[in-house]
Every structure is written in C-alpha cells, then in structure tokens.
Amino acid sequence: MPRLRLRFAGDLAIIRRRAKGTPSGALPGVQQMESVGNMREGIVLLVAVFAPLAGAFLLPLFGVWSRRLRDVSALVMVLASLGASVALVPGALRGEIVAWSIAGPLGLSFSLSADALAVFMAIVSSLVGSIIILFSFDYIRHYENQNEYYTMAVVFLGAMMGLVFSTNLVYLYVFWEITGIASWRLIGFYRGKADVLKADKAFLMTAFGALVMLIGILAVYGMTGTFDLAAMKGIALPLGISALLLVGLLSKSATLPFQTWLPDAGVAPSPVTALLHAAVLVKIGVYVFARLFLSTFVFDEALRTIVASIAGASALVSAGAALIETDFKRIVAYSTVSQIGFIFLGLAMGNALGAAGALLYILMHGLAKAGLFLSAGIVEQNAGTKDITKLGGLIRSMPWTAVAFLLCAFSVMGIPPFGGFFSKYMVISAAVSGDQLVFGAVFLAGALLTILYLFRLFTKVFLGEPHGVLAPETSRLMVACVVLLAALSLVGGLMVGWPSDLARVAISQMLGVAG
C-alpha cells in the first residue's frame, strides 16, 4: 500500500566500473561508493550532462544582466560538455567504461555510462553544438526571444548529452523528449503562425514515434523486468517489439515514412536547423539504434532487410525531393533525410564495417551538414530570402561562404579527401560485404542524387546571374564558423584515423569483435 511518508530509504551510490577491452557486461545495480578519488571520472560525466542541462536555466537571468555574458556562458556550458567528453577519450580508447549511477525503485535507476560509442557521439554533438552556438552570437542578435533561444539550445544539447550517456531506457526516453520540447520551442522561434504550426507538427510527429517507442520500452520491460540496458544485453528481441522501438527511432531521425517534419522544420533559424537537422537531433534515432540493436540486443537478421529497405527508400525519396524543392533549407533538410538513410544502412548491416562507417558518418555528416545549414543561414540573413529561384551569383559577394559551402557539400557527396568519403564508402561497402548488393546499388544511386542536388543548389544560389542586389557577408564570426566546419570536414578526412580509432573501440565493445 502506498503511503505518503517521508523516509529516506535506499542509498545514493556513486559507482565506477572499469571493463578493460571487453564488451560491457552487466552493470551492477547499486554499489557502495568506492572512494572519493574514484569519483573524479563520474564527475566528468556529470559535468558533460548537467553543465548545459542545468546551466541553461541560468541563461535568462544572465540575459537580463548582460547579453554578452549570456552568450558567452552558453558557449562555455557547451564547451564544458565538449571538454568533459574529450577528457573521457583516453579512457575510452583503452576500452574503459566510466559509469555513474543512482539507484532508484522499480528499475528507475539513473545511470550514466560512458563507453566508446557514447563518448564518440558526445564529442560529435558537443563539438558541432559549440560551433553552432558560436555562430548564433551574430545570427540571433537580430531577433526577439534571445533568452529563450539560448536556454533551449543549451538545454537541447544538455539533453543530448544525457541521452548519449544514459543506460536506462526510461531516462533515455526522458532525455529524448526533452530534446523534443526544446526543438519545439526552437523551431517556432520566429513565432509566425506557419512557423509555430510546423513546430507543432515536428513535435507531434516525433512525439508519436516516441510514444510508440514507449510501448516498445514497456514491452522490453515486460520481457526482461528491467530498464537497464546493460542488464538486458544479449537478449533476442521479438520482431514486433523491435518494430515498436523502430517507429520511435525512425520518427526522430526523420526517416521514411516519418520524414516530412524535418523539411518543414526548416522555418527555424538556421543555427537551429543546423542543430536539429545536421548534428544532433536527427542523430538521436541512429544513435539509439546502435545502442539498442547493435550494442544491446542480439541482432536480428530480419531487421537488417527491413531497416535497410526503409533506409534505402528514405534515401532515394528525399534525394528526389531535394532535386525538386526550391527552398534552400528544405533542400538541405531533405538531404539530411537522405543521408540519415546511409547511416541506417551502415547500422542495419550489423557488421563491424557498417557500424564503424555509420559512426564516422554521424561525425562527418554532422560537421558538413551543419556547415551547409549555417551557410544557408548566412545567405538567408543577408539576402533576405531562401528561395533559390530568387538567388544567384552570390559567389561574387560571398566568396568565403560559397567556398565553405562547396567544401561541405563535397564532404556530404562523399568526395575524398573529405571525411564524408570514408563514411560513405564504409557503409556501402558494409552492404556489399554483407552480400546485400541490391542495397549497395540503391545507395549508390542515392549518392549520385546527392551529387546532383547539391550541385544544383550550389549552382542556383552561388552561380549564375544575380537577382537583385548582391548581399555581402556581414558577420566575420558567422563566416568563420562556416569555414571552420568546412575545414573540420577536410581534417576529418585527412586525419580519419583518429575518429576511426575511437569508432573501432566502440565497435569492439558493441559487437564484441575487433574492427
């Protein structure tokens, strides 16, 4: 019988666990605090999650005081996440898993755990997130509701961190939905009627998926009696439950047949679309897919065909749409949908090559696509339109933006030595080596379409005859951010060994095989 009675039952335990080079085994439910010294890494983990998540709510207060202070502290919070994530890299490369947990009743233990996969994803999110926040300094300056913008953007990134490190399905869902709430506010940032409608649409579509996924989570709970991912490792999931979970993942990752909210969400300010479409939000689905279906459950062969088919259809349909659309950001958004298909392909193959390729894809696509969206932002803000039929010849007035755009586009197309090449190669190659030649061919067609629509976009916006006044680049900071992303895309390719090392550790932890 439930009773309202104040009693501090149970214990708050901070645990830290090391598992050298082995796939993560069962995480002990509750352990006593080992020693203060060992808490250090746990604290790193907490900083990564809560510096932005909790700190965000200070931002409106800072904003009342000083705009500059608010902007800089937003950046600092995200950088703190990045720093904390990077600090976890050496351990992750050695195959160590840092974990931190508070035991809770009914399986609701709040557990964070940083394996290589999580660290990888955390770095991608916070790295791109930091650049986007930096970009926002000059971009958002011109609009109302700046406090809300920074709060929500930072909350979003914090929730992303939480999601990445969570090993409890319920908390994963919690962070998942926080990102949904934040993106709802962010998409409706301009407050126009259409904007808010699109924000609602995005929210509803992703929430629908999330709710279906919640049914799936409960089904898993019903099967295993736990929400703890580590405890359910190695379980074979019935296809029905997988399908329920998959609906959530697909909707969050804007994959067919839940893709249409993403282009619509292009009404948001460009840094937001960069954040949502490129780097972070849409990667949630693929990340959780990797976390659940590759890292935790026994990989189901039937799932391979299903997911790969969906991914293939998604890649082609949205690439086709990108060739027809005339709105700058919608095109890039469709491109995201298409590229997410590639990531799903890599994961769906269930082999080491595909999974590693998918991870690299997350990184490379995040960097490059963020660059594309931010370029779109520069163009939109300076030229006052994002209709590509009304743009043209901007390479003359915006040479840096144009070149950075092109470089990022090369990376998305998968042209070496840009990072996008390696990831694209690896995922398609995974299909081939998995004897799935048809999927390989489909995605090859997708890659071709990618080249076509990105060049179409580049040609229409930056080349050709100018329409009206050629708007110049007004903010050096914004241009610098875009150039930085382009440069990172290139460096990511030239130095592909670095992310690849981490990805390989992640794969070995996930699949239990050496990459």
Partner 1 sequence: MSDLLLLVPFVAVVLLYLLPKRARAVGLWVAFGILALEAAAAVLDRFATVDVGLLAPLEKLLGFHLATDGLSGLVILCTGLVGMAALLVARRTLESVNERFLFANLVLVAVVGINGMAMVRDLFSLYVFVEVTAVATVILVAAGRGDHVLEGAWKYIFLSVVASVLMLTSLGFFLLSTGGITLDAARTGLAANAPLAWIAMALFLCGLFVKGAMVPFHGWLADAYTAAPAPVSVFMAGIVTKASGIFALLRIAQSTLGGATPGREILLVVGAVTIVVGAFLALTQTNFKRMLAYSSISQMGYIVLALGGDLHLGILAAGLHFFNHAVSKSQLFANAAAVEKQLGTLDIDEMGGLGARMPVTAGTSAVASLSIAGLPPLAGFWSKLLIILALWNAKEYAFAAVAILASLVTLAYFLSLQRKVFFGKPLEKWAGAREASAGLLVPAVALALVTIALGIGFPFALRILLGGGA
Partner 2 sequence: MTPLLLILTIAVPAAAGLLVLLLPSRRAPWAPAVLAALACAFELALAIYAFPHDVAFAWSWMGFGAEFALKLSRFSAFILLGIATFSFLVTAYSAVSMAKASSSRRFHAWVLFTVALSAGAVLADNLILFLVFWEGLLLTLFAMIAAGKTRPFATAVKAFVIVGVTDLALMFGVMLTGHLAGTLSMSAIRLPLDGLGAVAFLLLMVGAMGKAGAMPFHSWIPDAAIDAPLPFMALLPGSLEKLLGIYFLARISLDLFVLTPESWVSPVLMGIGAATILLAVLMALVQKDYKKLLAYHAISQVGYMILGIGTALPVGIVGGLFHMLNNAIYKSSLFLSAGAVEKEAGTTDLRELGGLGRSMPITTLCFLIAAASISGVPPFNGFFSKELVYDGALERGWIFYAIALGGSFFTAASFLKLGHAAFFGKPTNAKRTVKEAPWPMLLPMIVLAGLCIVFGVANSLPLERLVQPVLGTAMEGAHGGTFAGFPTNMLLVGLTAGVLALAVANHAFGVHRTGKGIGAVDHIHHAPGLSSVYTLQATGVLDPYRMLVVVVGVASKGLYALDRAIDWVYSGLAAQSALAASWVLRRAHNGNVNRYVLWALAGAIAVVLAVLAVMGGGR
Residues contributing to the site for partner 1 (CB under 8 A) = 1-10, 102, 104-106, 108-110, 144-145, 170, 173-175, 177-178, 180-181, 184, 188, 191-193, 196-197, 199-200, 203-204, 207-208, 211-212, 214-215, 218-219, 221-222
**Closest CB to partner 2 among 301 and 465?**
465
Residue type for position 83: G
Cα separation values, 377 from 86, 277, 332, 367, 478, Å? 29, 13, 11, 15, 9
Residue 452 within binding range of partner 2, rule CB under 8 A? yes
* Residue type, position 38, single letter: N
In this complex, which beta carbon is closest to partner 2, that of residue 251 or of residue 296?
251
CB of 374 to partner 2, least distance (A): 22
| Span from 94-102, 110-118, 148-156, 318-326 in contact with partner 2 (CB under 8 A) | 318-326
Peptide bond into 257 cis (omega under 30): yes
Tally Cβ neighbours within 10 Å of residue 223. 14
Residue 455 binds which of partner 2, partner 1, none (CB < 5-8 A, kind-dependent): partner 2
CB of 141 to partner 1, least distance (A): 18
Q: Using the rule CB under 8 A, is 316 a contact of partner 2?
A: yes
Shortest Cβ 204–partner 2 spacing (Å): 8
- 10 Å CB burial of residue 219 (0-12, 13-18, 19+) is middle
Residue nearer to partner 1 on the CB measure, 144 or 387? 144
In the complex, the smallest distance separating the C-beta of residue 148 from partner 1, rounded to whole angstroms, is 9
- Tell which positions 168-227 bind partner 2, by CB under 8 A: 201, 205
214 binds, among partner 2, partner 1, none (CB under 5 to 8 A by kind): partner 1
Is the CB of residue 92 less than 8 Å from the CB of residue 331?
Answer: no
User: Site for partner 2 (CB under 8 A): which residue of 13, 174, 441, 484?
Assistant: 441
- Could you give the C-alpha distances from 180 to 71, 253, 263, 437, in angstroms and in order? 23, 12, 16, 36
Which residues, 6 or more positions from 429, have their beta carbon under 8 angstroms from its beta carbon?
Answer: 353, 357, 440
From residue 239 to residue 258, the character string flagging contacts with partner 2 as x (rule: CB under 8 A) and all else as - is -----------------xx-
The DSSP letter of residue 299 is: P
Cβ neighbours of residue 284 closer than 8 Å, sequence gap 6 or more: 160, 163, 176, 179, 252, 253
Paired with 387 in beta bridges are 327
- Residue 12 main-chain phi, psi, to 5 deg: -90, 120
C-beta of 69: minimal distance to partner 2 in Å?
37
284 closest CA partner among 510, 56, 125, 446: 125
Restricted to residues 319-348, the positions that interact with partner 2 (CB under 8 A) are 319-325, 334
Single out the segment in contact with partner 2 by CB under 8 A; choices: 57-65, 232-240, 274-282, 412-420.
412-420
* # residues near partner 2 by CB under 8 A: 54
335, 447 Cβ separation under 8 angstroms = no
Stretch near partner 2 under the rule CB under 8 A, chosen from 46-54, 149-157, 218-226, 438-446: 438-446
Q: Which two tokens stand for residue 174?
A: 């919690």
Smallest distance from partner 2 to CB 173, Å: 22
If contact means CB under 5 to 8 A according to the sort of partner, which of partner 2, partner 1, none does residue 106 touch?
partner 1
**Residues 26-47 as b or e (16 or more Cβ within 10 Å = b):** ebebebeeeeeeebebbebbbb
Q: How far is CA 407 from CA 357, 361, 401, 493, in A?
A: 21, 16, 10, 12
Please state, in angstroms and rounded to a whole number, the distance separating the CA atoms of residues 465 and 459. Answer: 10
Closer to partner 1 by CB, 174 or 313: give it: 174
Nearest to partner 2 of 50, 261 (CB atom): 261
Query: Quick one: what does residue 254 bind among partner 2, partner 1, none, with the CB cut-off 5 to 8 Å set by partner type?
Result: none
Contact residues: partner 2, CB under 8 A: 201, 205, 256-257, 259-261, 316-325, 334, 352-353, 356, 410, 413, 415-417, 421-422, 425-426, 428-429, 432-433, 435, 437, 440-441, 444, 447-449, 451-452, 455, 458-459, 463, 496-497, 500-501, 504, 515
